[in-house]
Amino acid sequence: MRRPKGCRGRHGTLLGGKLVNPPSPVQAIWTRPQKNGRPPTGHCSGMEPTRSIGRAQRMSTMEQVEENVASAETSGVNTLTRSAQALALFDQVRAKYNELSPIPCTKCEYCLPCPNGVAIPRVFTAYNEGMMYDKPDVMRRWYKQWIPAENQAGACIQCLECEEKCPQNIPISEWMPVVQEVLGEDKPYVRQLNTKG
């Protein structure tokens, strides 16, 4: 059975479909008319930028390889970065994603292993995605179902070991109680930490 077109990889949907289903504020940027009055394509074959990213990922048959080679041959070199307009658009999208993610975790995993077993990047991803996609209840259920209690934010003892390793300088130990309250105890989301002083 042939896979549907879109962003699918050998092991399922690439990033859980998030590349082809961005948060609505990001989608609004992608589809906003540009100076020429048309939505941007960002890819020489006329595909949305988010849809073209996964093309190389979905090659499991010779037919798919041939399709991707043909697409690459017509795309041209540096198509995505050729125009200042395209680069500006990508900068706007990047800024919007950063704005929608209160915790600037890149999932580099330098903070791991946590001596107390907290799954720091997974916990932060759940928090960010609940806010980014405006689906707090979905992410609360996911958090409680798929991250064992011993790996949730509530297991953090604020030892600060992770903060010493974090290249983003995230105040991890300050975010953990907030994340646990929001995802584990269903309290309202917050965009930033309360800074005292």
pLDDT over threshold 70, residue 8 = no
Least reliable range by pLDDT among 14-18, 165-169, 187-191: 14-18
* The pLDDT value given to residue 129: 94
CA 193/CA 197 separation, integer angstroms: 12
pLDDT over threshold 60, residue 16 = no
pLDDT tier at 38 (50, 70, 90 boundaries)? low
* The pLDDT value given to residue 183: 98
Radius of gyration of the chain (CA): 20
Residues pairing with 9 in the sheet: 12
pLDDT over threshold 70, residue 17 = no
* The pLDDT value given to residue 44: 33
Asked whether 18 and 54 are in contact (CB, 8 A), the reply is no
pLDDT over threshold 90, residue 121 = yes
Q: pLDDT tens-digit profile of 176-191?
A: 999 999 999 999 999 9
Domain ranges of the chain: 11-100, 120-184
pLDDT tier at 29 (50, 70, 90 boundaries)? confident
Residues pairing with 8 in the sheet: 13
User: Is the backbone peptide bond immediately before 113 cis, with ω within 30 degrees of 0?
Assistant: yes
pLDDT over threshold 60, residue 18 = yes
Average pLDDT, integer, range 121-137: 95
Among candidate residues 131, 159, 148, the one with its CA nearest the CA of residue 184: 148
* The pLDDT value given to residue 77: 58
* The pLDDT value given to residue 46: 38
pLDDT tier at 86 (50, 70, 90 boundaries)? confident
Percentage of the chain modeled with pLDDT above 90: 47
Residues pairing with 13 in the sheet: 8
pLDDT tier at 69 (50, 70, 90 boundaries)? confident
CA 176/CA 192 separation, integer angstroms: 12
CA 120/CA 110 separation, integer angstroms: 10
3-class SS string, the chain: CCCCCCCEECCEEHHHHCCCCCCHHHHHHHHCCCCCCCCCCCCCCCCCHHHHCCHHHHCCCHHHHHHHHHHHHHHCCCCCCCCHHHHHHHHHHHHHHHHHCCCCCCCCCCCCCCCCCCCHHHHHHHHHHHHHCCCHHHHHHHHHHHCCHHHCHHHCCCCCHHHHHCCCCCCHHHHHHHHHHHHHCCCCCCCCCCCCC
- Return the structure tokens found at 96: 């919007």
